[in-house]
């Protein structure tokens, strides 16, 4: 029987999720690259397979329970039981509170919180059966509060509470759960933020970098590196933690 571990990375068609999927594949895991449509996962999957790794594309909406159940079944069938989950899928619907709609609120809660709940719940039995597992949830520095992001900051703070409870409930089965809270990372999401603010992206980057102690903005690989650490065998005594990967201290 193969001893290769199987990971699911959500929102892995692009951005941070894609970088995490590629990193886990180069660490030796087989990776289910999950995003809204199977087609959108093609670039990440081919980058992994061309580098000699193993990956499949899985189309699913994490906010939809039935879609997630079907996705996990596909992973079990095509790769085997998943024991690593990275809850990365995310959206923003930014607006000042007085202009934010209930739909903006529900959409963000649906993808980040219900999505992470759905995927983790469906995968945890495979981790418990294996007596080993790793869960990594994407939070954000916005969890500490950010203008225009009442919905997103609440969801990202929620991811931290969710992570700590998973760590407490699943620890005795050999499962760790940790969260990564990125600062400014260059992806389509931060391009969209600059656009909403009406600032050219290069100016937005320069202004942000000037506020960051290491004097640069982050890249998806910075987050992938931290995910790789949490998932590694040697990190088995690290659980229920939140690491801010933001080029400087946050609290
Ligand atoms: P991104 O480039 O927008 O990528 C997010 C991915 O998630 C997209 O491929 C998106 O698919 C997918 N997705 C959205 N809704 C989904 C759903 N319901 N089911 C499955 N997949 C879905 O974002 P990113 O910047 O890489 O962010 C990744 C994670 O890091 C998010 O949780 C984000 O909140 C967090 N984060 C990012 C930053 C940053 O500075 N970039 C900072 C802190 C935290 P579509 O393209 O089809 O919508």
Instruction: State the average pLDDT over residues 155-181.
Output: 99
List pLDDT tens digits, range 175-232.
999 999 999 999 999 999 899 889 999 999 999 999 999 999 999 999 999 999 999 9
Q: What is the pLDDT of residue 2?
A: 66
Report how far residue 250's alpha carbon sits from residue 13's, in angstroms, rounded to the nearest whole number.
29
Report how far residue 241's alpha carbon sits from residue 102's, in angstroms, rounded to the nearest whole number.
31
Q: Helix, strand or coil for residue 171? A: helix
Share of the chain above pLDDT 90, in %: 97
Q: Is the CB of 62 under 6 A from ligand 1?
A: yes
Q: Which of 8, 10, 16, 136 to mutate to test the pocket of ligand 1 (most atoms within 8 A of CB)?
A: 16
Give nearest CA residue, ligand 1 atom 7: 11
Q: What is the pLDDT of residue 177?
A: 99
List pLDDT tens digits, range 57-75.
999 999 999 999 999 999 9
Q: Is the CB of 163 under 6 A from ligand 1?
A: no
List pLDDT tens digits, range 87-137.
999 999 999 999 999 999 999 999 999 999 999 999 999 999 999 999 999
Q: Which atom of ligand 1 is nearest to the CA of 87?
A: 32
**88 Cα–ligand 1 center, Å:** 6
**3 Cα–ligand 1 center, Å:** 30
Q: Are 178 and 146 in contact (CB under 8 A)?
A: no
Closest CA to 11 of 51, 46, 41: 41
**112 Cα–ligand 1 center, Å:** 9
Token pair recorded at residue 88 = 């990365």
Q: Which atom of ligand 1 is nearest to the CA of 138?
A: 32
Q: Which of 89, 141, 145, 191 to mutate to test the pocket of ligand 1 (most atoms within 8 A of CB)?
A: 89
Q: Is the CB of 138 under 6 A from ligand 1?
A: yes
Residue ranges, CATH 3.40.50.720, the chain: 6-183+219-244
List pLDDT tens digits, range 133-147.
999 999 999 999 999
Active site residues: 152
Q: What is the pLDDT of residue 157?
A: 98
Q: Are 183 and 141 in contact (CB under 8 A)?
A: yes
Mean pLDDT of the chain: 97
**200 Cα–ligand 1 center, Å:** 21
Give nearest CA residue, ligand 1 atom 47: 36
Q: What is the pLDDT of residue 196?
A: 86
- Residue 30 is classified by DSSP as E
Instruction: State the average pLDDT over residues 48-52.
Output: 98
- Whether the pLDDT of residue 1 is over 80: the answer is no
Angle separating helix axes 115-130 and 65-78, nearest 10 degrees: 30
Q: What is the pLDDT of residue 251?
A: 78
CATH number of the 6-183+219-244 domain: 3.40.50.720
């Amino acid at each position: 029987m193969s001893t290769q571990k199987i990971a699911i990375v959500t929102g892995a068609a692009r951005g941070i999720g894609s970088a995490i999927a590629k990193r886990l594949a180069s660490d030796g895991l087989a990776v289910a690259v999950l995003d809204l449509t199977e087609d959108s996962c093609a670039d990440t999957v081919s980058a992994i397979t061309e580098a000699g790794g193993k990956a499949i594309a899985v189309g699913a909406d994490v906010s939809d329970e039935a879609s997630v159940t079907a996705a996990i079944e596909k992973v079990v069938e095509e790769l085997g039981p998943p024991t690593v989950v990275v809850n990365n899928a995310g959206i923003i619907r930014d607006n000042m509170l007085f202009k934010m709609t209930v739909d903006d609120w529900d959409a963000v809660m649906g993808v980040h919180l219900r999505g992470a709940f759905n995927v983790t719940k469906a995968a945890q039995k495979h981790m418990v059966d294996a007596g080993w597992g790793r869960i990594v949830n994407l939070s954000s520095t916005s969890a500490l509060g950010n203008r225009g992001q009442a919905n997103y900051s609440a969801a990202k703070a929620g991811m931290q509470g969710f992570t700590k409870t998973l760590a407490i409930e699943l620890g005795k089965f050999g499962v760790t759960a940790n969260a990564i809270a990125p600062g400014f990372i260059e992806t389509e999401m931060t391009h969209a933020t600059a656009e909403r603010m009406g600032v050219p992206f290069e100016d937005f980057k320069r202004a942000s970098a000037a506020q960051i102690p290491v004097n640069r903005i982050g890249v998806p690989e910075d987050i992938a590196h931290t995910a790789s650490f949490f998932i590694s065998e040697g990190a088995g005594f690290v659980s229920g933690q939140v690491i801010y990967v933001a080029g400087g201290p946050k609290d």
